[in-house]
Amino acid sequence: MQPLPRADWALFLDIDGTLIEHADHPEGITIPADLPDLLTRLQQVLNGAVALVSGRTIDWMDQRFAPVRLSASGQHGAEIRLAPDAPAVPIPIPKWRQPLEEALAREMEPWPGVFIEHKPLSLAVHFRAVSDHGDAIMARVIELGRGLDGSVEFLKGRFVIEVRQGGHHKGTAVNTFMNSALFAGRQPVFVGDDVTDEDGFRAVRAMGGLAVAIGPRATEQADFRIDTPAEVRRWLANIPPMLERLAS
C-alpha cells in the first residue's frame, strides 16, 4: 500500500534499492532519464522539503542527478547539506580511515570478487560477487576495524559492510534536517529499502512521521510497503499532480 501525499510532507529518500535498482557494482547503476525532472517537481510541490539520504557521497548525488540539486545527507549521516544552495558540511576525516584502507587492500586479496569502495569518510566492502563468503568477509572487516579504533561502527547492508565513525547515521541526519528552516513543522516521511534505513525509519516515526519500506526485507517499522524502485518512481510521479489537484 502507498501513502496518500500531504502538502506538509518532508520527504527523505534513500537511493540504491529505493529510487534506483541495485547493481552488481556500485558504479553499475542506471539513473532513469526522467528521474532528475521528477525530483525537481517534488522539490517544487513540497516547497523544497525533499532530501536524498544515502550512503553515497553528496558529490556523487550532484553529479548523477544533475541538473537537480537537493538537500542531502551522504555517507550515512557523515555529511549533510541542509538546503540546495547551502554548503555540504562533513565530519572530520577519521584517523583510522587510512590504516584501515591499507589493511583491507591486503586482507581482502583471498576473495578476488570483493570491491572496496573508498569514500572520504568511510569504507564500504562489497561482496555481491562472492556472496557465499559474506560471513567470513564481514568478520574479517570487523576484526580489522575494531583493532584500529574501538569507536568505529559497522553497517551491514545487502552484500556490503560499511565501516564508519560512530555517532552518525541516517536517523541523526533526519533529526538535523527537521530542525532546519526548510523541513521544520512538516510530517517526515522516510523511504528506504535496507537495514541502513532503519535509523531513518525510527527517527521519522518518533516525530509522528511515516516509514515506507521498499522490497521484501523484513522490518517491524514499516507503515507502508512498496515492492520495487520502479513502483516507487511511479508513486512519486503521482505526488505532484495529486497535490496540485488538492490545492486547486
CATH number at residue 101: 3.30.70.1020
Residues 126 and 16 in one domain: no
Element (H, E) at 53: strand 50-53
Beta strand pairing call for 50-53 and 9-13: parallel
Catalytic residues: 14
Radius of gyration of the chain (CA): 18
Q: Looking at the 3D structure of the chain, how many domains does it have? A: 2
Question: Does residue 151 have a pLDDT over 90?
Answer: no
Binning pLDDT at 50, 70 and 90, where does residue 236 land? Answer: very high
Q: Are residues 195 and 183 in contact, defined by beta-carbon separation less than 8 angstroms?
A: no
pLDDT greater than 90 at residue 187: yes
Q: Are residue 41 and residue 61 in the same domain, yes or no?
A: yes
Indicate the pLDDT class of residue 120, thresholds 50, 70 and 90: confident
Same domain, 158 and 173: no
Yes or no: say if 133 and 99 are a contact pair by the CB < 8 Å rule. no
- 136 and 78 within one domain: no
- For residue 146, give its domain range: 97-165
Residue 4 lies in a domain: no
Question: What is the rounded average pLDDT of the residues 116-144?
Answer: 92
Please list, in sequence order, all residues whose beta carbon lies within 8 angstroms of the beta carbon of residue 244, skipping any fewer than 6 positions away: 45
Note the pLDDT of residue 31. 93
- Tens-place pLDDT, residues 29-50: 899 999 999 999 999 999 999 9
Is residue 159 one of the residues assigned to a domain? Answer: yes
Does 17 lie in the same domain as 86? yes
- What pLDDT does 105 receive? 93
pLDDT band at 242 (very low <50, low <70, confident <90, very high): very high
Q: Is the pLDDT of residue 23 over 80?
A: yes
Residue 91 pLDDT > 90:
no
d(CA 151, CA 95): 11
pLDDT of res. 150:
85
CA separation, residue 74 to residues 54, 181, 216 (Å):
5, 19, 24
Separation between Cα atoms, residue 218 and residue 235, nearest integer Å: 21
Residues 157 and 84 in one domain: no
Average pLDDT, the chain: 93
Same domain, 101 and 220: no
Of the candidates 105, 135, 165, which is a domain's last residue? 165
Three-state DSSP class for residue 192: strand
Residue 174: name the closest of 212, 143, 206 by CA: 206
Domain assignment of residue 2, yes or no: no
